[in-house]
Amino acid sequence: MAALQGFDSLTSGDTVVAQNIAFGILAVVMIVAALRMVTTLNVVHAALYLVIVLAGAAGIFILLGAEFVGVTQVLVYIGAIVVLFLFGIMLTRGALGEDEEANIEKRRMAVLVGVLVLVVTGGAVLDSFGDAAVNRAAPSLTAEIGDSIFSQYIVPFEAVSVLLLAALIGAIVIARKD
Amino acid sequence: MNTLTLAVELAYWQQTTLRAVIGLVAVLLPAGTLVYLFLFKMMSFMQSRLGPMEAGPYGSLQLLAEVGKFLQKEDIVPAKADRVVFKAAPFVVLVSTFLLVLVIPGGPDLVFIDVDTGIFLALAVSSISVIGILMAGWASASKYSLLGALRATGQLIAYELPLVLAVMGVVIQAGTLNMQGIVMAQAQGEIFGFGGIGSPFILTQFLGFAIFLIAVQAELTQPPFDMPVAESELVTGYLTEYSGMRFLMFFIGEFATAGIFAALASTLFLGGWYIPGLDPTDNLFNVIGPMVLMGKIILVSFLIFWFRFTYPRFREDQLQTLAWKVLIPLSLINIVVTGVLKVVF
């Protein structure tokens, strides 16, 4: 890694000052953006705050050495999913300004669902990893990820693919009138 | 990776500053060259006129005059616009452009970042510009802008697929996503045992090259794929409300992205900084590599701009049909054939 020469003393040792500072900045930005995303009454602004949160998540993946996952996060979530959100919002309600329909009733439900998801995913992560340390010495290689997906995890991978295909076909079937 | 031995040892912040400055040059120099060489001069010659001739010898300083003109103009924000989003939009487009240049190698040791994901990273960050375009179109509070942004998004999403799939053939052949690895695979490759010219992937992946160039043309929203900025219907689409500096930023973004996509095409299909007959690990390439790459950029962008100035505009439905019914199936076939041949040979 000729390009990252200056980083070597920071990544291979035990003290990871630069990463910790970067993580702190990313975490603060993500939390502020996430709070603004759920409190703003402007739907387009909410989608744009979501971009900041997702970009922060990609940054954290890269900090942890999971480069391929970070790049995929950018390509899939920022480049495709949020773009589709924005596209849909602008096609259906192009008006600028705040949306009156984003009312309090839906928010109670949203808070409930949010807390539920946090508890379930947080519990799952704590349960499976506990306080295991992250191996920062070697960034994960794309080839290794490809190998493990198409050998060890081939069945779950295919199951998810078929599920996505079913969702895709289902959406088309629901959308067409004839 | 062997490291470049310099006469002076540079601290980390010095390396970073150096990279930032070189990155700026690597984005702006090809962009300026393309604007002068193709937009000012080649288009003029194709239309039997001289183009700019007054500023500097042969009009060569016209570009500086244009930039000076844009910088003096008032930065107008429409009264009903969403000010923050309106002002941020050009920066999002420029960030996407500047991140793109990072993965392109200019020589055996001349890399900004030597990452494992390489071309995948480039394709991912190139998709960020769509968000900038949508922000610009929505925040302008103008129907022309919004329609232009929606058309642009529909087009960019449709043509991103053939763009990514066309690259897959090269990745399968090279066996790596790393841009430096792709250059090396072409420099050290052999065609049926003959290694005299290496193995530039344009020979084996010509279909991929053609699909890549068509998709790039559409990604740049330039003719014949310029429905989003169709001046007879939408004024200039999402750019309508922009003036002065911010318009200039979109303009630079467009041409810089053209230059960088040409650099990507040169690296993927034409061997990048390598010229046949020399040792690719030779230190010489750290000096002539960037110039070789620039030559190839001009060659590829000549093709891009030649099509731009020649063909009339596609209709919206023709444009979508070409992407979904022609380019995507063709690139999928290309991937299957390349995969099978890779296993057989």
Task: Give the model's confidence band at B192: pLDDT under 50 very low, under 70 low, under 90 confident, else very high.
Answer: low
Write down the pTM of the prediction.
0.84
Fold classification of A5-101 is Four Helix Bundle (Hemerythrin (Met), subunit A) (1.20.120)
> Is B29 within a domain?
no
> Is B196 within a domain?
yes
Residues of B contacting chain A (CB within 8 angstroms): 1-4, 11-12, 15-16, 80-82, 85, 109, 111-117, 120-121, 123-125, 127-128, 130-131, 134-135, 137-139, 141, 146, 149-150, 153-154, 157, 160, 177
Among all chains, which residue has been given the structure tokens 């103008």?
B142
pLDDT value of position A9: 45
Alpha carbon distance B307, B305 (integer Å): 5
Please, which residues have CB within 8 angstroms of residue B174's CB and are 6 or more apart in sequence?
B181, B182, B185, B186, B201
The model's pLDDT over B298-343, given as tens digits with 9 standing for 90+, comes to 999 998 888 888 888 888 888 888 888 999 999 999 999 988 888 8
User: Which residues in chain A are contacts of B177 at CB distance < 8 A?
Assistant: 142
Domain count, chain B: 1
DSSP string, B31-78: HHHHIIIIIIIIHHHHTTS----SSSGGGTTHHHHHHHHHHHS-----
Name the minimum distance, in Å, from the CA of B84 to any CA of chain A. Answer: 10
The model's pLDDT over A154-168, given as tens digits with 9 standing for 90+, comes to 999 999 999 999 999
CB contact under 8 Å between A79 and B137, yes or no, is no
| Residue B284 and residue B278 in contact, taking contact as beta carbons nearer than 8 Å | yes
Alpha carbon distance A20, B110 (integer Å): 29
Which ipTM value was assigned to this complex?
0.80
| Residue B36 and residue B63 in contact, taking contact as beta carbons nearer than 8 Å | yes
CB contact under 8 Å between B150 and A91, yes or no, is yes
- What would the mean pLDDT of A53-76 be, rounded to a whole number? 87
> Is B54 within a domain?
no
Task: Measure CB to CB from residue B112 to each of A3, A7, A139 and give the nearest one.
Answer: A3
Name the nearest CA neighbour of B293 among B120, B108, B124: B108
The model's pLDDT over A29-44, given as tens digits with 9 standing for 90+, comes to 999 999 888 888 788 8
Name the minimum distance, in Å, from the CA of B46 to any CA of chain A. Answer: 37
Chain A contact probe: residue of B119, B138, B177 with most A CBs at under 10 A: B138
Task: Name the CA dihedral angle for A104, A109, A113, A118, rounded to a multiple of 10 degrees.
Answer: 40
CB contact under 8 Å between A79 and B134, yes or no, is no
> Is B233 within a domain?
yes
Alpha carbon distance B128, B237 (integer Å): 19
- Residue A178, token pair as written in the block: 């004839």
Which one is predicted more confidently, A15 or A154? A154
CB contact under 8 Å between A45 and B177, yes or no, is no
Alpha carbon distance B265, B119 (integer Å): 11
CB contact under 8 Å between A3 and B12, yes or no, is no
> Is B310 within a domain?
yes
Chain B contact probe: residue of A1, A7, A77 with most B CBs at under 10 A: A1
pLDDT over 50 (residue A1) = no
Name the nearest CA neighbour of B214 among B106, B114, B307, B100: B307
Q: Which domain holds residue B192?
A: 78-344
Beta bridge partners of B191: B194
Neighbours of B84 (CB within 10 A): 12
Alpha carbon distance B30, B34 (integer Å): 6
- Residue A31, token pair as written in the block: 């939390």
Name the minimum distance, in Å, from the CA of A77 to any CA of chain B. Answer: 10
With left for phi above 0 and alpha for psi between -120 and 50, is residue B9 left, alpha or beta? beta
Name the nearest CA neighbour of B82 among A128, A31, A95, A62: A95
What one-letter code names the amino acid at B164? V
CB contact under 8 Å between B134 and A90, yes or no, is yes
- Residue A175, token pair as written in the block: 């959308």
> Is B164 within a domain?
yes
- Residue B221, token pair as written in the block: 């929203």
Neighbours of B73 (CB within 10 A): 13
> Is B47 within a domain?
no
> Is B31 within a domain?
no
- Residue A11, token pair as written in the block: 């990544």
